[in-house]
Amino acid sequence: MEKTITVFRGDGIGPEITACVLEILRAAGAGLAYEIFDVGEAEWQRNGALIPEAAYQSFEKNRILLKSPITTPIGKGFRSLNVTLRNKYDLYANIRPARSNTAVKTPFHDIDMVIFRENTEDLYVGIEEQIDENTVHATKVITRKASERIIRDAFQYARTHGRKKVTCVHKANILKMSDGLFLSIFQDIAREYPELETNDKIIDNTCMQMVMNPNQFDVLVMPNLYGDLISDLASGLIGGLGLLPSSNLGTGYAMFEAVHGSAPDIAGKHIANPTALLWSACMMLEYLKDFDSASRIRSAVDQVLAEGHVLTPDLGGHATTEEYRDAIIRRLG
């Protein structure tokens, strides 16, 4: 039976890569129907709402959202739509798998790590206070409830996916109470998973180790801001932001999106790499238990990358987004 999903077509490269991904999903015969909405800055300029009410209602009905990147207008009064969505639907677990693809040349090899980023609190609660003309305070929130569930999800993922090690990333040496709480919860939960190796690293050291010896990392779990930074760093190890997908999971809702933003510098040029959004769609298919469509798309992408003739410029090629899409469709078994 067909499953209906909600699709948000965002800003910048969003519409181009969304169109491309939907065509590949159709060509792969994924059993999906789509309710597609324009959201973001362009939609706000047209209709005065960043996300139209009908788009919210569609997600509330379908519970599954494939979302392309959205520009956050800079200035007062605009809270990031991504942060809004994650909080409104309590999408607390941001899961970002970063894996080397042998076809993509980078100085790093055999990277295979999964980042679990807490998605609802930390500095992203957006509480800032003007103390005086020259002083602003920003509030960092860490709670037991939010920390426990993301840390438990990371351990459970490691156990069920045959992973060996879970690393907690923090700054508890300075933020003794907030990150200290996160770390102590990690250490408590670790005792329930004696078969897994565990360790913790301070965020600055983690950044250095990610570059010097990234293969030591397997599953990583961390508060929101560190997860944001470490994800982009991890994407650099595997060939760039065009290759890093993600899922945002809560108890009732699931949202799948590329880690990258709306890339205004290349919007409309038809050179955006749609792979991150496509692999996010594969994570969605796996979430829906359509393993067949997901694996056929994954292997078609692997073939196109391995052949190396039809690659977008970020991967060193000259192909347009659409040429890359067509090459993938030709290789769908």
Which residues have a catalytic role annotated? 124, 171, 204, 228, 232
Minimum distance from residue 69 beta carbon to ligand NAI (Å): 4
Rank residues 178 and 248 by Cβ distance to ligand NAI and give the closer one: 248
Q: Which residues pair with 135 in a beta bridge?
A: 132
Minimum distance from residue 171 beta carbon to ligand NAI (Å): 22
Minimum distance from residue 270 beta carbon to ligand NAI (Å): 11
Backbone angles phi, psi at 105, to 5 degrees: -80, 120
Asked if 168 and 204 count as a contact pair (C-beta separation under 8 A), the reply is no
Minimum distance from residue 14 beta carbon to ligand NAI (Å): 8
As to burial, measured by CB atoms within 10 angstroms (0-12 exposed, 13-18 middle, 19+ buried), residue 153 is middle
The rounded distance, in Å, linking the Cα atoms of 159 and 190 is 11
Asked if 326 and 275 count as a contact pair (C-beta separation under 8 A), the reply is no
Minimum distance from residue 140 beta carbon to ligand NAI (Å): 20
Minimum distance from residue 186 beta carbon to ligand NAI (Å): 26
Rank residues 51 and 190 by Cβ distance to ligand NAI and give the closer one: 51
Rank residues 180 and 236 by Cβ distance to ligand NAI and give the closer one: 236
The rounded distance, in Å, linking the Cα atoms of 249 and 69 is 17
Rank residues 110 and 265 by Cβ distance to ligand NAI and give the closer one: 265
Rank residues 6 and 167 by Cβ distance to ligand NAI and give the closer one: 6
- In 3D space, the residue among 246, 247, 250 whose CA is nearest the CA of residue 89 turns out to be 250
Rank residues 85 and 294 by Cβ distance to ligand NAI and give the closer one: 85
* Cα of 307 vs its chain's centroid, Å: 27
Minimum distance from residue 262 beta carbon to ligand NAI (Å): 4
Task: Give the residue closest to ligand NAI by C-beta.
Answer: 261
**E strand or H helix at 180, and its extent?**
helix 178-190
Which parts of this chain interact with ligand NAI (CB under 6 A)? 13, 69-72, 82, 241-242, 257, 260-266, 272-273, 276, 314
The rounded distance, in Å, linking the Cα atoms of 121 and 166 is 21
Please list, in sequence order, all residues whose beta carbon lies within 8 angstroms of the beta carbon of residue 35, skipping any fewer than 6 positions away: 4, 5, 6, 7, 58, 62
The rounded distance, in Å, linking the Cα atoms of 254 and 172 is 31
Instruction: Provide the token pair at 214.
Output: 């990234």
- In 3D space, the residue among 91, 55, 96 whose CA is nearest the CA of residue 253 turns out to be 91
The rounded distance, in Å, linking the Cα atoms of 219 and 28 is 30
Give buried/exposed letters for 165-186 (b at 16+ CB in 10 A, else e): ebbbbbbbeebeebbbbbbebb
Asked if 262 and 10 count as a contact pair (C-beta separation under 8 A), the reply is yes
Rank residues 200 and 314 by Cβ distance to ligand NAI and give the closer one: 314
